[in-house]
Amino acid sequence: MHLHPDHATDVSVVVIGYNDVTHMADAVRSALTQGPSVSQVVAVDDCSTDGTFELLERLAAAEPRVRVIRREDNSGGCGTPRNTGIDAVTTPYVMFLDSDDVLPPGAVNALLAAAREERAEVVSGLCVRRELPSGREVPWQRKLYSEGAVLTRPARLPRLVHDTLCVNKLYRTDFLREHAIRFPDGHYPYEDFVFSARLLAAEPRLALIPDQVYVWNVRRSAGHLSISLDRAHIENWRARTEASRTAYDILLNAGQKELARAARAKFLDHELRMYARELSLRDAEYRRAWWEHTRQFLGEYDAADWAVNPTAAGRLLGRVILASPEPRDLPRLKELAARPARLCPPYARGRDGTPVWTEDLPQISLEPYLVRPVHVLPLAVDAELHPHAGSSVLRLRLHDLYGRVAAAGPEALEVAWRHREGGRTAQQVTVPLTPAAAEGTWSAETGVDLAGLGAGTWDLRLRVCFADGTSRDVTAHARAGAGLLRRRAVPSLRYGALLVQPYATHSGALALRLAMGLRGVTSILRGRLRRLFHGAASQ
């Protein structure tokens, strides 16, 4: 049966879930409260055993728009239940919702209005990642949705390959069926990589809208992490590379060479950098397996994949890995994988004097850094925090990069602390940079009012200001020597005591945890002792 938007305007929301009785009702209700545009909520239960199906039956009994489908066997993934939903819908439009997420008010109407007005076969909107329990929201692929756009061919905007989500989009049902656009079945992590590639390969008329249409709830403390967050095992990385390879092949075989190449570049910039930042968290066996598998995967890239912007962080990271049979330079690679990237010393030169990664890897040339604008270079700043009663001291050191920083004339550092949970910025100051005793470095120093910051986790944010008026946003490498990153209690007139924990993030950047008052200090210390006790008991 063919259903066309000229004759009907109804939307089906396919909600999938497995053993998620805690959150399923909120997801279904967020779809129902979109209003009459949603004529049907197809809830697919993937053979849950925790009461999710019974909950859905109760919701369906109270709301005729809810249709419940229970699969007889658990599929092991998200693709099969979504395919079940595609097969079941009878409306001209369909969208997807996971059981632990929600649709914000007005999402469906915004998507549907664009589909009608632009005669679009796919409409995509802004998704935000909501970190729980803090509630902090981070837009996903914000640049794509800064303003509305209509594309007759997706290849006109190669950056589309960066948005691999399937849930922030409204699809014309007939378009999916006519082009056999489906998800991989069974246990297939990152199934939306493949679905998104099949969608782009079919060249839909695509509309982008700046409206927020999806809330992706991220629960890092959950007992069972979602597929995208559970990255501790090498099987996850193998699954991600396989999904990326399949997406590339789909686009290439469809004649979408530009999108296929963009997908490979996206892997370097996103996947490779994200996992490289976390390598220091893994054991030696994982690191060796990861390194070997990554080299095999990157060996499939051709010369053209490396030619564009060879000093982009992801490409440089990939070239070092591909050129090295064994894991090496992991601390430096972790800093390079940061956002924004930091290229930390040493700054080696080859025999002919040209910049290279290291003397023993002279084939990895950094010569393009000599001509790139200084405001896009991966500048490195070291930071060390010295907590004291009253005002603490933050010491900063900026490194030159093959003479480029010196030539630009670094004048000052803008310093600020950003609260990770709340997003607010505090204690913004501008401090002058002065040449340091060590050649090719500049230093700066400023006070930090720890009590004025308040409790929580704080990230250090810096901006290097140059003589010509340009600037470069950077984060700072956390100096770890001389006990700089150890937890300590600091007397405070306002709170009695502060518990201060300077620490290095996964990417090596300086961050700060603060607890206020004797109660806060006692609570954190008690939790620390509890973890130590449980760790000892489990050994």
What per-residue confidence (pLDDT) applies to 343?
A: 96
Q: What are the pLDDT digits (tens) for 427-470?
A: 999 999 999 887 899 999 999 998 899 899 999 999 999 999 99
Confirm if 393 and 450 have CB atoms less than 8 A apart: no
What per-residue confidence (pLDDT) applies to 33?
A: 97
Q: Tokens in use for 277?
A: 């930042």
Q: How far is 199 from 205, CA to CA, in rounded Å?
A: 11
Q: Is-above-0.95 flag for pTM?
A: no
Q: Tokens in use for 108?
A: 């469906």
Chain centre distance of CA 361: 30
Within 8 A by CB and 6+ apart from 376, the residues are: 472
Half-sphere exposure of 210 (CA within 13 A, CB side): 4
Ranges of the chain with pLDDT below 70: 1-9, 220-229, 390, 482, 518-539
SS3 for 405-447 is HHHHCEEEEEEEEEECCCCCEEEEEEEECEECCCCCEEEEEEE
Q: Which one-letter amino acid corresponds to residue 172?
A: R
Confirm if 69 and 84 have CB atoms less than 8 A apart: yes
Q: How far is 535 from 539, CA to CA, in rounded Å?
A: 7
Query: Among 471, 510, 477, 140, which Cα is nearest to 336's?
Result: 477
User: What H or E segment, with its residue span, contains residue 353?
Assistant: none
Structural domain boundaries of the chain?
11-219, 234-371, 376-528
Q: Over the range 313-330, which residues count as b (16 or more CB within 10 Å of their CB) and which as e?
A: bbbbbbbbbbebeebebe
Q: Which one-letter amino acid corresponds to residue 18?
A: Y
Q: How far is 535 from 410, CA to CA, in rounded Å?
A: 48
Query: Among 344, 402, 379, which Cα is nearest to 465's?
Result: 379
How far lies 335's CA from each of 307, 380, 467, 476, in Å? 23, 9, 26, 9
Chain centre distance of CA 340: 13
Within 8 A by CB and 6+ apart from 144, the residues are: 124, 157, 159, 160, 162, 163, 208
Q: How far is 204 from 171, CA to CA, in rounded Å?
A: 10
Query: Among 375, 381, 362, 474, which Cα is nearest to 433's?
Result: 381
Q: How far is 325 from 320, CA to CA, in rounded Å?
A: 10
Q: Tokens in use for 281?
A: 């968290």
Evaluate the CA torsion angle 297, 299, 304, 309 in order and state its sign: positive
Q: How far is 525 from 527, CA to CA, in rounded Å?
A: 5
Backbone Cα Rg of the chain: 26
User: What H or E segment, with its residue span, contains residue 3?
Assistant: none
Q: How far is 212 from 168, CA to CA, in rounded Å?
A: 9
Q: How far is 153 from 255, CA to CA, in rounded Å?
A: 13
Q: Which CATH architecture has domain 376-528?
A: Sandwich (2.60)
- What is the bridge-based pairing of β-strands 122-132 and 136-140? antiparallel
Q: How far is 415 from 392, CA to CA, in rounded Å?
A: 14
Q: How far is 40 from 55, CA to CA, in rounded Å?
A: 17
Confirm if 44 and 85 have CB atoms less than 8 A apart: yes
The residue behind tokens 């935000």 is 128
Q: How far is 21 from 338, CA to CA, in rounded Å?
A: 37
Q: What are the pLDDT digits (tens) for 35-89?
A: 999 999 999 999 999 999 999 999 999 999 999 999 999 999 999 999 999 999 9
What per-residue confidence (pLDDT) applies to 391?
A: 77
Query: Among 351, 318, 347, 335, which Cα is nearest to 509's?
Result: 335
How far lies 402's CA from each of 354, 356, 357, in Å? 9, 10, 12
Confirm if 187 and 92 have CB atoms less than 8 A apart: no
Q: How far is 402 from 182, CA to CA, in rounded Å?
A: 50
- Please say whether the structural domain 11-219 has been given the CATH code 3.90.550.10: yes
Q: Tokens in use for 509?
A: 């950047």
Q: How far is 420 from 511, CA to CA, in rounded Å?
A: 10
